[in-house]
Amino acid sequence: MGSGRWSTDVYEAAARLRGDASAFGYSDSGARRVHPALDPFGVTARESRDSAEHPASLAIAVLFDVTGSMGSVPRTLQAKLPQLLGLLLRKGYAQHPQILFGAIGDATVDRAPLQIGQFESDNRMDGDLERILLEGGGGGQKTESYELAMYFMARHTAIDCWKKRRKRGYLFIVGDEMAYPNVKPREVSAWIGDELAEPIPLTTLTAELTRSWDAYYILPAGAAYAGDGQVLGFWRGLLGQNVIELADLDAVCETIALTVGLGEDAIDLDAGLADLADVGSAAGPAVADALAGLGAARGPLAIGAGPARALEASPRTTDNDKPAGNIRL
């Protein structure tokens, strides 16, 4: 039982805590695999729950691609995203947001193809952000394992906004490549721990995901495939108008916040852009461009299959250089 084995003085403790406090502590400490706090394996569900303090929680998830093609984008996101919560609250775009951060790699080659934090309603989600391992891997096929992340979000989240109020959460995937065409049982088993009898086609999964989540894809400038027509076409085929091209990465929080504000009917686009100007943000024009396609009013309360309905009418891409086995819509 008892001993003072770990007794230490305050100055030693201070030195230890200082030595430990680099902004990107986990990646820069030489870590090579997913931080235990972000490991999706065996997780029943990441939960966004109502509480006395937050009686009407709103789930918001931001997952970003951390593979090599994204260049310095993930580091910028790691630095920028902590502002998101404050932005949402200050302007009243959402009353009780609960934010989850996560990262996406490539399950065919990476050691951490999926990293998933917790829903938090205060700045504790910043800790998850710091713990994200920046992979820098990925294959050279213009595809990453977005479908694994989408599978997790569809089957391993429990969000009260949907459960209790039939109000979908907001999912933002920031990336620059396409998903694989199927959710593969072997990968789900290895990284999440579920046993699937057979692969799930991406279209089926998207329909399932968008029942409880409004899913958006953000393709930022600075990534290798920024502006790539094949990538944009792929995601428009899956998510319809919810595909956002972001010219100025510094405006990522503003773009996400305004998207939520629009979805919540808290503002319209013009008012949102005026808000941005008010707080001295220079992001207005970039955000205006990015959200031009979303400006149309969209009811915050939506039931049904969601944007995946647009699949049947989605544009076909016929590029011959498309990797074999890629999605056929």
Partner 1 sequence: MTEHVIVVDLGYGDAGKGGVVDWLCARSARSARSARSARSARPQDRKVTAVVRFNGGAQAAHHVAGPGGAVHAFAQFGSGTFTRGMRTFLSRFMLVDPLAMTAEADHLSKLKVPDPFGLVTVDRDALLTTPYHQAANRARETARRAARHGSCGMGIGETARYAADSPADAPRGGDCETRQILMRKLTLLRDRLAEETGFQRAGQPPPSVLADVYGAWARRVTLARDGHLAALLRQGPVVFEGAQGVLLDEWRGFHPYTTWSTTTFANALTLLAEAGARDGAIRLGVTRCYLTRHGPGPFVTEDTTLDLPEPHNGTGRWQGPFRTGHLDAVALRYAAQVAGGLDAVALTHLDVAWRHQGRLRLCREYTAGERRIQRLAPGPDRDLGHAERLTRMLLSARPVYDDAERIGAGDWPDAVAEIAGAPVTIRSHGPAAAHKTAAAHKTAAAHTTDARSRPPALAAPPR
Question: What is the nearest approach in angstroms of partner 1 to the Cβ of residue 179?
Answer: 24
Residue 18 vs residues 5, 13, 15, 25, 125: alpha-carbon distances, Å: 22, 9, 5, 11, 20
Which segment (8-16, 73-81, 205-213, 271-279) binds partner 1 by CB under 8 A? 8-16
Could you say which of 52, 301, 313, 324 contacts partner 1 (CB under 8 A)? 52
**Span between the terminal Cα atoms of the chain, in Å:** 64
Question: What is the nearest approach in angstroms of partner 1 to the Cβ of residue 6?
Answer: 4
20 binds partner 1 (CB under 8 A): yes
198 binds partner 1 (CB under 8 A): no
The β-bridge partners of 214 are 170
Is the backbone of residue 263 left (phi > 0), alpha (psi -120 to 50) or beta?
alpha
- Which spans in the chain are helix H? 10-19, 25-28, 73-80, 84-90, 125-131, 146-155, 160-165, 185-191, 202-212, 229-239, 252-263, 269-278, 284-291
| Binding string, residues 243-272; x marks residues near partner 1 by CB under 8 A | ------------------------------
Q: What secondary structure, in 3-state letters, does 269-318 show?
A: HHHHHHHHHHCCCCCHHHHHHHHHHHCCCCCCCCCCCHHHHHHHHCCCCC
Cα–Cα distance for residue pair 324/224, rounded to 1 Å: 21
3 binds partner 1 (CB under 8 A): yes
Cα–Cα distance for residue pair 178/176, rounded to 1 Å: 7
Question: What is the nearest approach in angstroms of partner 1 to the Cβ of residue 17?
Answer: 4
Identify which of residues 31 and 271 has a Cβ nearer to partner 1 in the complex.
Answer: 31
71 binds partner 1 (CB under 8 A): no
The single residue listed with the structure tokens 């773009």 is 255
Cα–Cα distance for residue pair 123/190, rounded to 1 Å: 31
156 binds partner 1 (CB under 8 A): no
Could you say which of 24, 43, 71, 302 contacts partner 1 (CB under 8 A)? 43
Which segment (119-127, 215-223, 237-245, 281-289) binds partner 1 by CB under 8 A? 119-127
Question: What is the nearest approach in angstroms of partner 1 to the Cβ of residue 195?
Answer: 5
The single residue listed with the structure tokens 């790699």 is 105
Nearest to 213 by CA among 191, 242, 253, 189: 242
Nearest to 38 by CA among 154, 120, 146: 120
Question: What is the nearest approach in angstroms of partner 1 to the Cβ of residue 127?
Answer: 7
The token pair that represents 37 in the structure block: 């706090």
Identify which of residues 29 and 204 has a Cβ nearer to partner 1 in the complex.
Answer: 29
Could you say which of 91, 96, 131, 167 contacts partner 1 (CB under 8 A)? 131
124 binds partner 1 (CB under 8 A): yes
7 binds partner 1 (CB under 8 A): yes
Question: What is the nearest approach in angstroms of partner 1 to the Cβ of residue 168?
Answer: 22
37 binds partner 1 (CB under 8 A): yes
Binding positions for partner 1, rule: CB under 8 A = 1-14, 16-18, 20-21, 25-26, 29, 31, 33, 35-37, 39, 41-45, 47, 49, 51-53, 121-122, 124, 127, 131, 189, 193, 195
